[in-house]
A = this chain, B = another copy of it.
Amino acid sequence: MKYGYFDDKNMEYVITTPTTPLPWINYLGSDEFFSLISNTCGGYSFYKDAKLLRLTRYRYNNVPTDTGGKYYYIKDGDTVWNPGWQPTKTPLDSYECRHGLGYSRFHSSKNEIEASLLCFVPQKDSCEINKLTLTNKSNQAKELTLFSFVEWCLWNADDDMKNFQRNLSTGEVEIEGSVIYHKTEYRERRNHYAIFSVNSPIDGFDTSRDDFLGPYRGFDSPVAVESGKCTGSIASGWSPIASHEINITLAPGESREFIFLLGYIENPKEEKFTEPGIINKARAYDLIQRYQTSEQVDKALADLQEYWQKLLSRYQVHSANDKVNRMVNIWNQYQCMVTFNMSRSASYYESGIGRGMGFRDSCQDLLGFVHLIPERARERIIDIASTQFEDGSAYHQYQPLTKRGNSDIGSGFNDDPLWLIACTSAYVRETGDTSILTETVPFENDWDKAAPLMEHLKRSLNFTITHKGPHGLPLIGRADWNDCLNLNCFSEHPGESFQTYGPSEGPVAESVFIAGMFVKYGEEYAQLAELMGDHDEAARARSEVATMYNAVLNYGWDGEWFLRAYDAYGNKVGSKECEEGQIYIEPQGFCVLAGIGVKEGLAQKALKSVKEKLDTKYGIMILQPAYTRYHLELGEITSYPPGYKENAGIFCHNNPWVSIAETVVGNGNRAFEIYSKTCPAYVEEFSEIHRTEPYVYSQMIAGADAPRHGEAKNSWLTGTAAWTFVNISQYILGLRPTHSGLMIDPCVPEGFGDFCLERYYRGTNYHIQVKNPSNVQKGVKEVIVDGEVIEGNIIPIVDRKDVFVEVIMG
């Protein structure tokens, strides 16, 4: 069952009912000012940091679902309705929500009044624009009253929902003309305030929530709206809001347009006030003036659309498969950018106050956006590397504002160091910019301890080399990629963090997954060393890789699949010998994509086992059989009910690893089958089961053991976006950046047909036509570059604006 459709031409997802299974959201903003907006106008805005500078209040997991947002109430006689349906939930005569790239539009109507609402954050200003157009489609004049509504958050979103003994006394506002200024704490240490304005005279306002809503009333029935009149309240403590009242007469056929602006303003400390207690509004006036007219707003939207179009043009596919086209060209790349912007901080599942940026998360996310914004990727690599310790280990998380490591969590996640190689390699392969490798980067943000980035990568590599267990496999530490497999934790009491409780190191527990990573990223490190001319170092790395490869074959193979780990007692994890959790997905995916066991025929066996043991119609589960009881020696993974999250859920992040692994062994059919099972454009068809947005990936889908098998959770901010884009763009469609150029090596399902790729790479636009006359799954017979057949399948780097390539599979 679908609740909407893709409008590929406009690059929008069109939602045709407000009652989606869950709120389906979009992100507005691409730089410093961000908003989350759902298909019923729920959501909130913040400046830079979702915890510390939250502009509007939002209550997660509230009842009714997703109440709180930027609302417009239209009072038409006794009928009150909202363009986004919520919060009044008055049945609409028509409804449509279009989530586009950085904007959302609502079109709805009731009793012959049409409302059109456009919401976006312009590129260069710290504000959200809401353009509301009301049209009288009847043949009688209509008297309407329009009420706007936002509820201010008192800036720190965490404190805002806890510290009532203070917060209920601090709220302050100013009103001037049609502009409501929220200035709580501005009188003391804040140099910023927020505004909510409209480009029209107003007939009333409210700034006190309790006065606007009336006692014991909800957002669905504000007393001010019911009575048709704001009260003119001036908030003094309690909950400040902003509501404008505008009385409107519309002649038959007449339209009127209102531009509302929610803005964030910072003043220099010495320019805070114009007179005692009165905020300096000059910057607000400037901002408002830039969005007074329809033309100004339309121009800003056009600029935004152009930005996105240009950005996404860096990788485009045109195939016979619409679903692949729309995911690659629009939604998957868009999600990668949102993940970059949000750093896993704020979604409808991440409350925006929980965590810093993950070391491994950021490294992996980068794989998905490095081709879009290589300059910012470079910056982020330096930031990440700056939190590394001198011994090569790393802070597991760091703070986005200070960019410093989070000592509450510390280090001990032994896969972290290798991810730094992964993202640096990806960056250099994308850009050819080897200067990053010689850039001086501090350890622990301490410039007294600094070294070239290449030295950081060496320490990453050496960390694994010097931290091996009894079988010569990497020690796992607190956890590897699977944060919930805690082999040195042994937590017995609720409230103890599985990630930080117990010792950060153990001398026995080993990870086969990290071994797979080492084989893959050890080779990528060797290539970087070669690029730098250090062939001895490259050879050393490859020798270590070979040693690890053998350790995996000798101690990491269980007979039909790769083991997952050895626990702190030296017992196998993910083995047929286990009572539960006999097979895990991660080592099958990562060992094979690293090439382990391919020539020995083990890779194929492992992938067969994945299909037999872990596959479901909704994707590949993380492990089987699910853990039915808590295993002290395994940690959080066994804390979840069977089928959910790491305990045998379908973790979308690692499904592409298996898909990539299938391309490594040349199985295009199976690679694509795996791709399509979790692919939003495919999943759209059964949205009533999947429930989350059908245009983006979710972190997890309930596995076969769960009562809600097939139901997704934690949409938007997940490494899935990056890894799926790597999979579809580089392995299935097969256009892979290397140090010497773009390799073309598709691995497609039978019947996929010919396709074109447009790729902006190192200053050149590559126009690539892939022909598959023999309908093979893999294999490139011929590559013709600007009319010339080349040797091999790596399109050389050239100094031309456009390159035309023809690729013949076979």
- A residues contacting B by CB (< 8 A) are 18-19, 21, 40, 52, 59-68, 86, 89, 155-156, 161-166, 168-170, 172, 185, 187-190, 209-210, 213, 215-220, 234, 236-237, 239, 276-277, 348-351, 353-354, 491-496, 628-630, 638-641, 644-645, 649, 699-700, 702, 706-708, 713-714
Say whether B628 contacts A277, CB under 8 Å.
yes
With contacts A350-B165, A492-B189, A645-B169 known, is A63 near B713, CB below 8 A? no
Say whether A185 contacts B707, CB under 8 Å.
no
**Minimal Cβ-Cβ distance residue in B for A159:** B495
With A169-B649, A187-B639 given, can you name 12 additional A-B contacts, CB distance below 8 Å?
A: A60-B162, A63-B68, A63-B213, A156-B494, A162-B351, A165-B349, A168-B349, A169-B641, A172-B641, A188-B630, A188-B639, A189-B494
Contacts of A188 in B (CB 8 A): 494, 630, 638-639
With contacts A170-B644, A644-B170 known, is A161 near B218, CB below 8 A? no
Q: How far is the CB of A729 from chain B (nearest CB, A)?
A: 27
Q: How far is the CB of A626 from chain B (nearest CB, A)?
A: 11
Contacts of A60 in B (CB 8 A): 161-162, 164
Contacts of A641 in B (CB 8 A): 169-170, 172, 187, 236-237
Say whether A63 contacts B189, CB under 8 Å.
no
Say whether A52 contacts B495, CB under 8 Å.
yes
Q: List 30 A-B contacts (CB under 8 A).
A: A59-B62, A60-B161, A61-B161, A61-B164, A63-B219, A64-B217, A86-B216, A162-B354, A163-B354, A164-B351, A164-B714, A165-B349, A165-B713, A166-B645, A168-B714, A169-B641, A169-B645, A170-B639, A185-B639, A187-B629, A187-B641, A188-B639, A189-B496, A189-B630, A236-B706, A236-B707, A237-B641, A237-B644, A237-B708, A277-B628
Q: How far is the CB of A271 from chain B (nearest CB, A)?
A: 15
Distance, CA A351 to CA B160, complexed state (A): 11
With contacts A59-B59, A349-B165 known, is A216 near B65, CB below 8 A? yes
**Minimal Cβ-Cβ distance residue in B for A714:** B165
Distance, CA A74 to CA B730, complexed state (A): 61
Say whether B218 contacts A63, CB under 8 Å.
yes
Contacts of A348 in B (CB 8 A): 164
Q: How far is the CB of A318 from chain B (nearest CB, A)?
A: 36
Distance, CA A534 to CA B157, complexed state (A): 55
Q: How far is the CB of A57 from chain B (nearest CB, A)?
A: 9
Say whether A215 contacts B349, CB under 8 Å.
no
With contacts A61-B164, A276-B628 known, is A189 near B156, CB below 8 A? no
Contacts of A714 in B (CB 8 A): 164-165, 168
Say whether B239 contacts A61, CB under 8 Å.
yes
**Minimal Cβ-Cβ distance residue in B for A649:** B169
Contacts of A163 in B (CB 8 A): 351, 354
Contacts of A491 in B (CB 8 A): 189
Q: How far is the CB of A92 from chain B (nearest CB, A)?
A: 14
Contacts of A645 in B (CB 8 A): 166, 169
Q: How far is the CB of A752 from chain B (nearest CB, A)?
A: 35
Say whether A156 contacts B495, CB under 8 Å.
yes
Say whether B629 contacts A209, CB under 8 Å.
no
Distance, CA A189 to CA B641, complexed state (A): 13
Query: Of B67, B68, B190, which is within 8 A of A494 by CB?
Result: B190
Q: How far is the CB of A4 from chain B (nearest CB, A)?
A: 16
Distance, CA A188 to CA B628, complexed state (A): 10
Distance, CA A52 to CA B442, complexed state (A): 40
Distance, CA A546 to CA B218, complexed state (A): 61
Say whether A218 contacts B185, CB under 8 Å.
no
Say whether B351 contacts A493, CB under 8 Å.
no
Q: How far is the CB of A260 from chain B (nearest CB, A)?
A: 21
Query: Of B187, B353, B493, which is within 8 A of A162 by CB?
Result: B353
Q: How far is the CB of A305 from chain B (nearest CB, A)?
A: 31
Distance, CA A467 to CA B129, complexed state (A): 57
With contacts A165-B714, A351-B162 known, is A639 near B189, CB below 8 A? yes
Distance, CA A709 to CA B635, complexed state (A): 55
Distance, CA A89 to CA B86, complexed state (A): 20
**Minimal Cβ-Cβ distance residue in B for A639:** B188
Say whether B62 contacts A62, CB under 8 Å.
yes
When A and B form their complex, which 7 residue pairs have the shortest distance between CB atoms, in order from nearest? A169-B644, A188-B630, A188-B639, A236-B707, A64-B218, A164-B349, A189-B494
Q: Max chain B CB contacts within 10 Å: which of A89, A185, A494?
A: A494
Query: Of B61, B67, B86, B277, which is within 8 A of A629 by CB?
Result: B277
Q: How far is the CB of A723 from chain B (nearest CB, A)?
A: 18
**Minimal Cβ-Cβ distance residue in B for A236:** B707
Contacts of A62 in B (CB 8 A): 59, 62
Contacts of A237 in B (CB 8 A): 641, 644, 702, 708, 713
Contacts of A172 in B (CB 8 A): 641
Q: How far is the CB of A367 from chain B (nearest CB, A)?
A: 21
Distance, CA A276 to CA B579, complexed state (A): 14
Contacts of A40 in B (CB 8 A): 216
**Minimal Cβ-Cβ distance residue in B for A23:** B216
**Minimal Cβ-Cβ distance residue in B for A89:** B216
Say whether B493 contacts A189, CB under 8 Å.
yes
